Amino acid sequence: MAGELSPIDKAKFVAAKRAADLVETGMRVGLGTGSTAAWLVRCLGERVADEGLRFRGVPTSSRTANLARDCGIDVVSLDEARWLDITIDGADEFDDELQLIKGGGGALLQEKIVATASDQMVVIADIGKEVESLGAFPLPCEVIPFGWQTTKALVEETLIQMDVLGRNTTLRMNGDAPYVTDEGNYILDCHLKRIGDPRQLGMVLNQMPGVVENGLFVDICDKVIIGFGDGRVETRDINEGTVEEDRLDFVESDNLFSDIAD
């Protein structure tokens, strides 16, 4: 139950709970992928069951789609929805300009497509995801399997000219085999330590043959909702330049979320 959660899970829970309040009946909503996004889906499912909330959800991965259906959410494809009112998703890192690194869960391509097809993108995260500069979290690049070793070598060579501290890249694995995305691609994780110019790096990487998309989300996020382990929530709106603070109480009998894990 919520009262038995660790501080970091409490932080994820309150951020997701606050973001779930943004969804209204009739909306078309992008549903992110990852541990924090899973809290969001459960919170929205609770509103569907308790309040009769009705909306169409566009998931960014098969994992999210399965969870959303289990929670009673009406799941549709992006082609069916065409355009979204809002996308709510987590992040692996964010800075004070709301630039993001995403893709730790392997769904960066669909996440970026869905986020850019929305009127508004809202990121939910615990306070530990905030950084002064991006790059401590490995930057994922989704690449096609054909010639991936050549693509890897080209990425590493290109990084020599970029404002980064590290240039090592590794193929993401799933046991003894390469990790495969929902689109059938591989992921290269770039261990850069610090990224001086995220916008430039993202553009350069996407110009390379073999690279499908990268995990730098620049000029996409409109708002971040940050959760703290004591129940505090901070909402930063990059467009309005505002910061709002709130606190959510935990409901001891609420055991809907006890099976969510990273």
In-domain check, residue 259 = no
pLDDT grade for 262, boundaries at 50, 70 and 90: very low
- Residue 206: its pLDDT value, please? 97
Q: What is the pTM of this model?
A: 0.93
CATH number at residue 158: 3.30.70.260
157 is catalytic: no
In-domain check, residue 75 = yes
Q: What is the biggest distance separating any 2 CA atoms in the chain, rounded to whole angstroms?
A: 55
Residue in the block written with tokens 């693509």: 151
* Under 8 Å between Cβ of 247 and 233: yes
Residue 180 belongs to domain spanning: 139-213
- Paired with 164 in beta bridges are 195
In-domain check, residue 60 = yes
pLDDT grade for 3, boundaries at 50, 70 and 90: low
Same domain for 106 and 49?
A: yes
Mean pLDDT of 20-32: 98
If one compares 50 and 252, the residue with the highest pLDDT of the two is: 50
Choosing from 93, 111, 142, 213, which is the catalytic residue? Answer: 111
Which amino acid is present at 185? N
Same domain for 37 and 16?
A: yes
In-domain check, residue 256 = no
* Under 8 Å between Cβ of 99 and 71: no
Same domain for 56 and 82?
A: yes
If one compares 215 and 3, the residue with the highest pLDDT of the two is: 215
If phi > 0 it is left, if psi is from -120 to 50 it is alpha, else beta; for residue 83 that is: beta
In-domain check, residue 261 = no
Tens of pLDDT, residue by residue over 147-186, are 999 999 999 999 999 999 999 999 999 999 999 999 999 9
pLDDT grade for 249, boundaries at 50, 70 and 90: confident
Tens of pLDDT, residue by residue over 75-117, are 999 999 999 999 999 999 999 999 999 999 999 999 999 999 9
Helix (H) or strand (E) holding 226: strand 223-227
In-domain check, residue 258 = no
Provide the domain count of the chain. 2
Same domain for 20 and 120?
A: yes
Same domain for 78 and 42?
A: yes
Same domain for 196 and 223?
A: no
Helices (H), the chain: 7-20, 35-51, 62-70, 78-81, 108-116, 148-159, 198-206
pLDDT grade for 4, boundaries at 50, 70 and 90: confident
pLDDT > 70: what percent of the chain?
94
Mean pLDDT of 227-249: 95
Same domain for 22 and 125?
A: yes
Cβ atoms within 10 Å of 40's Cβ, excluding its own: 31
